[in-house]
Structure 1
Amino acid sequence: MTKENLILLADAYKYSHHKLYIPGTQYIYSYLESRGGKFDETVFYGLQYFLKEYLSGEVFTIEKLDEAEKMLVEVFGRNDVFDRSRFEYIITKHGGRLPVRIKAVPEGTVVPVRNVLMTIENTDPECFWLPNFLETLLMQVWYPSTVATLSREIKKVVTKYYEDTASVASFAGINFVLNDFGFRGASSPESAGIGGSAHLVNFAGSDTLPASVFAKRYYHAPIAPGFSLPATEHSVCTLLGEEGELEIFKYILDTYPTGVIACVSDSYNIFRACEEYWGTALKNQILKRKGTLVIRPDSGDPVNTLLKVFEILMDKFGYTTNEKGYKVLPPQVRVIQGDGISYSSIPGIFEALKQAGVSAENLALGMGGALLQRVNRDTQEFAFKCSYAIINGEAVNVHKMPVELDANGHLRTSFKKSKSGKLSLIHENNQFKTVEETTVPDTANMLQTVFENGNVIREYTFNEVRGKAAL
């Protein structure tokens, strides 16, 4: 696979920085953190992909430099911004490999916000400009980290309602409650792979095939970590029109007489489908199957629709009451809701079922754009800042501390205040804490060297990531 031209993978303004750093600058040390945002803790995930795909090995070549120089002269409309010699030096002195060191918390680690997650520093004083040149690309770890965080927060909600309403025997199914339906809504196949694999850190259900490809390719997953099942779409269920829907439903059951099969059932009237077709005409065939039919509503208000669907299905198929006192459909029938699912809607859905006496184990969820696309860098307020430098041989602690006006017009320090010095992340007394690197031994620092001088030093398997992120 031909790698992208890394020389062109930076914000355009950064090509002027080699001249703008104060003369005598020899060393720049910067860090990444989640400054806050929607959730109080962040799952760190995805850096390994960027290291292996973009930074490892010989990434600067004369051919790529020629291409970049032509582009950047066009971009700036002048030839005194881009300095070709800076990259030629790395090609000549380091064989085109990046003279930087990157340390990071182990992937999958769940870290409270406002703690260091990653650091980068140059290992050659001539390349002081390089760490923050790489910010643009490295900052994109916000995306897999944020999707992994969002997915994990949803798993907390699911787990709570399982603990409240589901039988102990059903807990093994939690990993299949939230399914990734987001491939078509992602901004690119690459985004689907990156974000989809981040979801698989927490759950095992996914129709986003690039997610499993990604996990195997970059994280040594021994088998595909995302599982799916045969399922219909409206193009299948509407071919014979409204009058032929029952015939198609029967054909679907005949085609897959065993195992799990999902069928979208709202093409015309979800309530008729549940009552007259699934619950009456096909009831005996469903109950005799060695497997489960998963009925999928796909329109209408999720809460009201699901309450009515479960009312009909339990009337038609009957139910048992689990040890916590909640109703459970026969194992041959379940429901999956794939429309209108988001972090904000999920608690209301499960709470409504709970109030109706319906166990959470009856329902699975499919989540699309709200999982892979309705996030951004500010969801968890990711920031990348310089905190330490060496200038003319002198160490300098670096930080910013902007002020802002509060609602009453009074000055206060902004939450964008950055950290200062070389940093370590420690975990003691069951708490994470960011401290100055000099105050703790290397063995206590959770930040581990993962990349140095063009080489990936430490890799994590997908199973290791899952283990660290587990609730």
Structure 2
Amino acid sequence: MAAHDFNFLLATDSYKITHYKQYPPNVSKIYSYFECRCKKGSPFNEVVFFGLQYLLKKYLTGPVVTEEKIQQAKVFYQMHFRQTVFDEDGWRKILEKYDGRLPIRIKAVPEGRVVPRGNVLFTVENTDPEFFWLTNYVETMLVQMWYPITVATVSREFKKILAKHLRASTGSTEGLETRLHDFGYRGVSSQESAALGGAAHLVNFCSTDTVAGLLMAQRYYSCPMAGFSIPAAEHSTIISWGRSREKEAFEQLLERFSTGPVSVVSDSYDIFAACKHIWGDKLKERVMARSKDSCLVIRPDSGDPADTLLQVIKILEECFGCSVNPKGYKVLPSYLRLIQGDGIDLGSIEQILQKLRDEGWSAENVFFGCGSALLQKINRDTLNCAFKCSYVETNGEGMDVYKLPMTDPSKGSKKGQLSLRRNSDGLLETVEKGVGKPEEDLLVMVFEDGCLLQDYSLEEIRRKAQLTEEDEVAPAQHNGDQQEPGGLHILNGQH
């Protein structure tokens, strides 16, 4: 991989550049780990590990230290601290000794693996005693793993809910991977967020409009095309016709996209009138002439999601009729479906699907789109992500270290060198204090001395993240706000 334009020396919290002066004398190893800590009452009891490969390929692999970058960092930190604290000699030794490659080792859970909260997800240690300070220097960048992990986890929770209602109302989960569409591109903080979050959603689904996520999956996870979309209207393409010509706007969409599905936002003025008088009357024959493979997907985009959707589906039933599937639930004609993309989060999607079922409607009638609740309304505390030192070596002797704040024991950290294993009950658990057996360790060496050692494809990752029968039967209960406790019992096998 070519040398990076990105300056790794400047990619950390600035206080970290002073830490090489703060460790005890004669330290030769610093060993740290990353986990999503358990928190009582959290609505998430497990996480999907995803995104490390991107960070390693993009920022850490190959020669990341050059003389030019050392000089740039030296000047920058002199101005920032207004004193000389930058370890110019230390970085130059990395350049001279390792050709600018980082002498660290990272072991990690295979990407896509679903792991109970409270378990080690990856470990970091220096491979050269001279550069012990490097382990926690990379914390700032690596803790940003919280974002793709959290998106992949939230996305999988959506999948559990959809799977439960699909199976209950249809008898199968056919087409599950298309049921949640990523609408989040415009709602995230940056192009990189869109790429990371968009790719994380694609671990679980193949339906998206977030092009950045597709490009990331293509470039960093060997997937030529990870997701798909259909032609769809937005309000500008409808209201540009004027209110009196809404019917003409709809009609042109049917004409221009006569084959393949097409999605039409229909609430520019009156969603109920549009469904009853335009789709269900003036354009009824044209809608009925379409097929399952070229269905019309009507999109409400305002109002209470559950109530609006239920009213709309009843109007469409009056106009187009319905059938009853083998499970006894009503289904609109195959040429007609709905997509709800407004107000969707883990709480509302459960409420909508349950309300539809209570009224006798199958989940197969509705697709969903999600934007900010999928890619943006999350933070590092959603899954309580943390990176902590657990083992050091000084004067040739190892010592297990930890923190245990009296004011908040939940922030206590693990001790010693860690491994992840499956116990006799089949549960994943973290073994502390270096007592784990190497042959049982599920952590895989993914990076050493500047070289990427594993290269997962998105296809492999998707297989690992697939739902189990237990996931479909009992998804977590969400109360509409992912930040608030949901009363879920935490299962964790850590020692």
Q: Which category describes the TM-score, using the shorter chain as reference length?
A: over 0.9
Q: 2:406 aligns with which of 394, 403, 407?
A: 403
1:117 match: 121
Counterpart residue identity of residue 455, structure 1: C
Partner of 2:255: 254
Give 1:163 shift.
1.6
Q: Superposition pairs for residues 397-436 of structure 1, below 5 Å?
A: 397-404=400-407, 414-428=409-423, 429-436=425-432
Residues in 1 aligned to 2:459 and 2:433: alpha-carbon distance in whole angstroms: 30
Partner of 1:63: 68
Q: Contact (CA 8 Å) 1:401, 1:417: kept in 2 or not?
A: yes
Give, in angstroms, the shift of residue 430 of structure 1.
Answer: 1.6
Q: Where in structure 2 are the equivalents of 1:187-226 lying within 5 Å?
A: 187-221=189-223, 223-226=224-227
Q: Percent identity?
A: 49
Whole-angstrom CA distance in 2 between matches of 1:232 and 1:138: 39
**1:350 Cα shift?**
0.7
Aligned residues: 459
Shift of 1:437: 6.7
Question: 1:83-122 to 2 correspondence within 5 Å?
Answer: 83-122=87-126
Rounded Cα–Cα distance in structure 2 between residues aligned with 1:210 and 1:462: 15
Report deviation, 1:167.
Answer: 4.7
Q: How does 1:333-412 map to 2 (within 5 A)?
A: 333-404=336-407
TM-superposed deviation, 1:353: 0.6
1:442 to 438, 449, 452: 438
Cα distance in structure 2, aligned partners of 1:155 and 1:302: 19
- Conservation of the 8 A alpha-carbon contact between 1:104 and 1:449: yes
Post-superposition offset of 1:459: 1.3
**In the alignment, what sits opposite 2:460?**
464
Matched, 1:45 2:46: no
How big is each residue's C-alpha offset from its partner over 1:14-57, in whole Å with a ceiling of 9 and x where there is no partner? 01100000111110000000002440001010000010000000
Aligned pair 1:454/2:450, yes or no?
yes
**DSSP-derived class of the 1:59 partner:** coil
Give the C-alpha shift of residue 103 in structure 1.
0.1
Shift of 1:438: 4.1
CA RMSD of aligned residues (A): 1.1
Structure 2 unaligned segments of length 5 or more: list them: 468-495
Q: What is the one-letter code of the residue matched to 1:199? A: H
Amino acid at match of 1:52: K
**Distance across 1 between alignment mates of 2:206 and 2:402:** 41
Helix, strand or coil for the counterpart of 2:145? helix
2:272 counterpart of 1:267: no
Q: Distance in 2 between matches of 1:430 and 1:362?
A: 38
SS at match of 1:335: strand
Give the aligned residue type for 1:279.
Answer: G
1:174 deviates by 1.1
SS in 1 for 2:124: strand
Aligned to 1:16: 18
* Secondary structure, counterpart of 2:123 in structure 1: strand
Give the letter aligned to residue 119 of structure 2.
N
Q: Which residue of 1 aligns with 2:141?
A: 137
Which residue pairs with 2:78 in the alignment?
A: 73
Q: CA deviation at 1:248?
A: 1.1
1:379 counterpart letter in structure 2: T
Q: Distance in 2 between matches of 1:38 and 1:6?
A: 36
Q: Residue in 1 aligned with 2:299?
A: 296
Distance 1:297 1:198 in 2: 27
Please identify, of 174-183 and 281-290, the stretch whose mean Cα deviation from structure 2 is larger: 281-290
Partners in 2 of 1:376 and 1:276 — Cα distance?
Answer: 44
SS at match of 1:387: strand
Q: What's the TM-score once normalised by structure 1's chain length?
A: 0.96
> For the Cα contact (< 8 Å) 1:38–1:380, is it kept in 2?
no
Write the letter of the residue equivalent to 1:289: R
Whole-angstrom distance in 1 between the partners of 2:45 and 2:133: 33
